[in-house]
Amino acid sequence: MQQDSNRTPRRILITGGAGFIGSNFVHHWCNSYPGDRVVVLDALTYAGNKQNLASLASNSDLKFVQGDICDRTLVDNLLESEDINTVAHFAAESHVDRSIIGPGAFVQTNVVGTFTLLEAFRQRWNKREQPQNDRFLHVSTDEVYGSLEADDPAFTETTPYTPNSPYSASKAGSDHLARAYFHTYGMPTIITNCSNNYGPYHFPEKLIPLMCINILLGKPLPVYGDGQNIRDWLYVEDHCRALDVVIHRGKPGETYNVGGNNEVKNIDLVEQLCELMDELAVDLPVSPSKKLITFVKDRAGHDRRYAIDASKIKRELGWTPQETVAGGLRHTVKWYLANRDWWQPLLSDEYKSYYNQVYS
């Protein structure tokens, strides 16, 4: 993005900065704004991984703190000791299938954790006499809008909330809290609702990395239901650029939808991944890898279609995605091929036990 020479340096707390999108955002911010203070708060749950930030280990602007966003004392201390003026809140339980198995952790982190951060930030913001340039960015999802039929128009910022899974219901609850803190207290919160991301550091449980890894291991590629569900895919770096623009130029109290305008049926996406792997990988255990595609029992309450209308962020803040699906998937497949050392240790006993529960 274009640099503003009068830009006020930010002292940014990035929650969930060791997860998939959060860590991509930490890289983005450190590369874009050297000299800004960057504090990462992450509990390192199964989805958090310090390796995602390993290449930034020598960056003295960056501090990593392992801890829970529900720990009010810890959050208060960090906001004060680091004199934080910006929060980018990514920390969440993020996987729909896990929310079906165990919703409790989703309510705790996504609702109680967000509430804890909002309250701590409110106290600190008041103490600092309510600077209007401070920002609390709440990173959310298109899943709060529910499921679309084939002919429905894409979700806009005014589409009514209709969350269908414990995950999306807990994110919806946190969105409502973030919105209420603007309307009640004037706190400069902004909400973004984004479509499905993909790219480097994506944990193996999600569709795209799961398929890439299973192709490399010669394991079945489990497609839920009839494979006709549609997601709107966005390369993660495009999401990071959108969040950057929202922090710098977004209006407090507003919501911005972020999406790639890339609606793809799951089965078509899996077939594209198979073709890319067949082209780019050597010595695949099963070739052509499409032979591995297996239709399995559908996800409970599986949303049929998501699609984002991102015209507001384009019109008001000038953001558009730069990556095509074809280009983004190619980068992603190459990344999983080149980074076996990153994903192999993630196939832990915990992961295997989760996998058996969902797929056996």
Q: Which residues in this chain contact ligand DAU in the complex, by CB under 6 A?
A: 94-96, 141-143, 195-196, 206-207, 210, 222-224, 229, 231, 266, 299, 306
Of 20, 155, 336, 343, the one binding ligand NAD (CB under 6 A) is 20
137 lies in the binding site for ligand NAD (CB under 6 A):
no
- Active-site residue numbers? 142-143, 167
CB of 80 to ligand NAD, least distance (A): 18
Q: Do 358 and 101 contact (CB within 8 A), yes or no?
A: yes
| Alpha carbon distance 297, 229 (integer Å) | 13
Residue 92 or 216: the one with the smaller Cβ distance to ligand NAD is 92
Residue 143 or 254: the one with the smaller Cβ distance to ligand DAU is 143
CB of 252 to ligand NAD, least distance (A): 20
Residue 110 or 214: the one with the smaller Cβ distance to ligand NAD is 110
Residue (of 165, 75, 79) closest to 114 by Cα position: 75
Residue 16 or 292: the one with the smaller Cβ distance to ligand NAD is 16
**Which residue has tokens 């600077």?**
131
CB of 329 to ligand NAD, least distance (A): 15
| Alpha carbon distance 193, 338 (integer Å) | 31
45 lies in the binding site for ligand NAD (CB under 6 A):
yes
Rounded to the nearest angstrom, the gap between the alpha carbon of residue 176 and the centroid of all alpha carbons in its chain is 18
CB of 144 to ligand DAU, least distance (A): 9
Q: State how far the alpha carbon of 360 is from the alpha carbons of 18, 131, 229, 290, 357, in Å.
A: 30, 53, 21, 20, 6
CB of 86 to ligand DAU, least distance (A): 22
Residue 134 or 238: the one with the smaller Cβ distance to ligand NAD is 238
User: Is it true that the peptide bond before 288 is cis, omega within 30 degrees of 0?
Assistant: yes
| Alpha carbon distance 188, 85 (integer Å) | 11
Q: Where are the alpha helices (DSSP H) in the chain?
A: 20-32, 72-81, 96-101, 104-106, 114-127, 166-185, 207-217, 236-249, 266-280, 311-317, 325-338, 340-343, 349-359
Q: Can you give the binding site for ligand NAD, defined by CB under 6 A?
A: 15-16, 18-22, 42-45, 47-48, 68-70, 90-94, 109, 113, 139-141, 171, 194, 196-197, 203
